[in-house]
Every structure is written in C-alpha cells, then in structure tokens.
Amino acid sequence: MHIVDGALSNPVVIAGAFAAAGGIALGLRSLTLERIPAAGVLSASFFVASLIHVPIGPSSVHLILNGLAGILLGWAAFPALFVGLLLQTVFFGFGGVTVLGANTVNIALPAVLAWMLFGRLIGRGSPLAGAIWGGIGGGFAIAATTAMVAAALALSGDAFLPAARLVFFAHIPVMAIEAVLTGFAVLLARQVKPELFQTGASA
Amino acid sequence: MKALIVALALIIGPAPALAHKVIAGVFAAGSAIEGEIGFSNGDMAVEAQVLVLGPDGTELGQAITDADGFFTFVPTQPIAHLFRADLGAGHLAEVTMPADEVAAILGLAPIKSAEVTETAPPSSALSNAERQAIAEAVRNEIRPLRREIAAYKEHTGLQTILGGIGYIAGLFGLGFYLAARRKLAA
C-alpha cells in the first residue's frame, strides 16, 4: 500500500503533493477543538495498524484502517493519516518522503469518500444497521485505495490492469478483516458514544 | 472451476510481498559484484531483472536474480555502480556500490592498496586458487548471517512503536493546546 521513492513519475508525485496539501488544509479547517483528540487517537491507530500482520496462506498482509478514520473524521482524516504516514516513513521506512503526498492522497481520499457515501447511513437507524454500513464503508475504503494505488502506478507507466489486479487481489483479505473491524468499532461507538457520528451526519 | 481456482491462486500467489519492504545489498565477491534482492519478510526476488547503471545514468549491463534472489555482475570500469530492479506494484530496489569498492574489485585499488597489503601479511604457502577457495567458503558461511542482519535491521522494536505514538500524542496535544488558546482568546 505504501509506494516507495522512485516508483512514481515526477508529475504524479507533484500532483499527489498538491492534492495532499489541499486535503490537509481542508481537514485542518474542519478539525474543531472537540475532534482533535479523536483525530489523534485514529492517527495513532493507523500508525500501529500497519504493524499488525494478518497471516493469509503462505504470507501476510497488514491492516490499514483508513475507512474507520474517514468515517469518524471526515475531511480531518487527511491530516490524521498524513501524520501517521509521515511517522511510518521516518520510523519504519515504509514508503518514502518524496512520495508522501501521493501516499497520503491514496489512503486519505478513499477514507473521505467512504465518509461522504456512508457517513449519513452510519449515523442514523439502529446501531446494528449503522455497524453494517460501517463495515461496508471500511471495505470500500480499502478497495478504493487499491484502485488509487494502481492508478498512480499506471500514470507512471506500469501497465494498469496487471498492477491493479495484483494490488486488488492481495488486499481482499484486508478488505474483509477491515470491514468486520470497522463494523464492530461503529457498533461499539454507536452504543457508548453516539454523539461521535452527529458531526459526520450533519456536515 | 479448478482452472479458476488455479488462476486465482496464481494471481494471489506473488502478491503477499506487497505488504513488505524491499531490501537489497551488494558486496564484492572475487572479481565480480554479488548482490541480493528480496523482501523484508525473507522472500527473495526470483528472476528479477537488475539494471546496472553508471553514475551518469548510462546502462553498463544487466543481470537476472536466481532462485535465492542472488545476482552477480562483473564490473569493467572503476566507477560507481547503481543496481536497480523494478519488482512491480510500486516496489523498487536500488542499491549503489561506490567507485572505490568497484576499483578494489578490479584490483586497481587507488589509494587503499598500501594499507590493505600491510594488514594482510603474505600468507605462508597459499596458492592463488587456495586463497580463492577460502574466500568463497567464507562468503558462503557468512551469507545466512548477512541475511539475518538485514532482516534484523528491518525489525521494528517496541521502542520505535512507542516513540511514534509519543510523537502523535505530542503533536495532537500541541494542536489541541493551540486550538484551545485561540478559543479562550476569542
């Protein structure tokens, strides 16, 4: 999921950096005092989630948790995920500094899309219905992220279809796991802290 | 149905490497440069094409990795060699061997030659062939060690993780403080 330095062409890297800066600016504006702690917690969970390797067959894949961040934060997912990505680059060597913008967009934009599409549906109805929509949103965010990664590679010259298929199929287990995780997280949050979703539903 | 499963397995098969970091290393091996390319989880890059580039970007040659991710390249010029392999899906392995190391392999050894001959006293009765056999054996012996060190370097300790979380807490705490101050002032 983390594209490394040198794998993308310069126009893609520059476009990614500008798009990320725009998203972060929008996110910071929407980040009210009340939502800063939530953003910090989700940033930290994103940072650590990448270390949780889920064994699938002969190898393993790692969690991303961008759908959950998007559903709870909306546009504020941009700065939260950017901080997580930056620290992953510095501490773990995932990705790279020059492609940080492109990686941020690849991971945070699907999160925001998941919030736009499913945020309202998650916030109303019974907690169980909200949890199911949350699960769908969590899976959707991963699927959209794989599509974005493949598109970024395609624009840099990699053949689009093989690259997209490779990334997509590798992440089907992640999609399933994150859908379940996000569903349960929404279920729990709807029961213990329902006001968490009111901002998401009204904005 | 069976064909579909096989096709699916083939598609999914090489993919798990996606979740991992690429590691690459090069070192002198007699008159050649030996290198290895793989992923931080221990999977090696099999039959990957390695481009060898000079410092000015000109192509010096190519190499193909074997089943263990190893490749060899015989240098001809004492310049810096850049080895690059595109492993697909955003994975790019790049490693450089500096000019003086390449020169040492070629036996040109520009500056360090005197020093090297001093530290390695003329061995009593070893022929050139024997010396090479010993060097080969030592290389084979330390290969697993080298791989283990490379894997260990990629290992993330608890301190690193806690450090990262500490940074996040501090950063968002700072943001919280700034936002609160602005709110109090208003």
User: For chain A, which domains are there?
Assistant: 10-202 (1.10.1760.20)
Q: Are residues B140 and B171 in the same domain?
A: no
Q: Are residues B84 and B33 in the same domain?
A: yes
Q: Are residues B105 and B168 in the same domain?
A: no
Look-up: residue for tokens 């050139």?
B128
Q: Are residues B38 and B120 in the same domain?
A: yes
Q: Are residues B74 and B117 in the same domain?
A: yes
Q: Are residues B98 and B180 in the same domain?
A: no
pLDDT over 70 at B112, yes or no: no
Confidence of residue A202 (pLDDT cuts 50, 70, 90): very low
Q: Are residues B137 and B180 in the same domain?
A: no
Please write the tens of the pLDDT for every residue from A106-164: 889 999 999 988 888 887 778 888 888 888 999 999 888 888 888 888 887 766 667 67
How confident is the model at residue B113, as a pLDDT? 42
Q: Are residues B143 and B168 in the same domain?
A: no
Which of B41, B89, B91 lies at the smallest CB-CB distance from A59? B41
CB hemisphere CA count around A79 (13 angstroms): 23
Q: Are residues B27 and B61 in the same domain?
A: yes
Stretch B137-145: mean pLDDT, rounded?
80
Q: Quote the domain boundaries for residue B174.
A: 159-186
Distance CA A183, CA A132 (A): 6
Which CATH number belongs to the domain containing residue B35 in this structure? 2.60.40
Q: Are residues B24 and B70 in the same domain?
A: yes
Which pair of structure tokens corresponds to residue A62?
Answer: 């790692």
Least confident of A153-157, B13-17, B93-97, B129-133: B13-17
Q: Are residues B130 and B151 in the same domain?
A: yes
Distance CA A21, CA A10 (A): 17
How confident is the model at residue A21, as a pLDDT? 92
Contact list in B for residue A43 (CB cut-off 8 A) is 168, 172
Q: Are residues B60 and B136 in the same domain?
A: yes
Stretch A163-185: mean pLDDT, rounded?
82
The tally of domains found in chain B comes to 2
Least confident of A148-157, A176-185, B55-64, B107-116: B107-116
Instruction: State whether residue A56 is helix, strand or coil.
Output: strand
Is A2 in Cβ contact with B168 (below 8 Å)?
no
Does the pTM of the predicted model rise above 0.80?
A: no
Alpha-carbon radius of gyration of chain B:
24
Least confident of A28-32, A56-60, A71-75, B178-182: A56-60
Contact list in B for residue A83 (CB cut-off 8 A) is 168, 171-172
Number of cross-chain residue pairs from A and B with Cβ atoms under 8 Å apart = 114
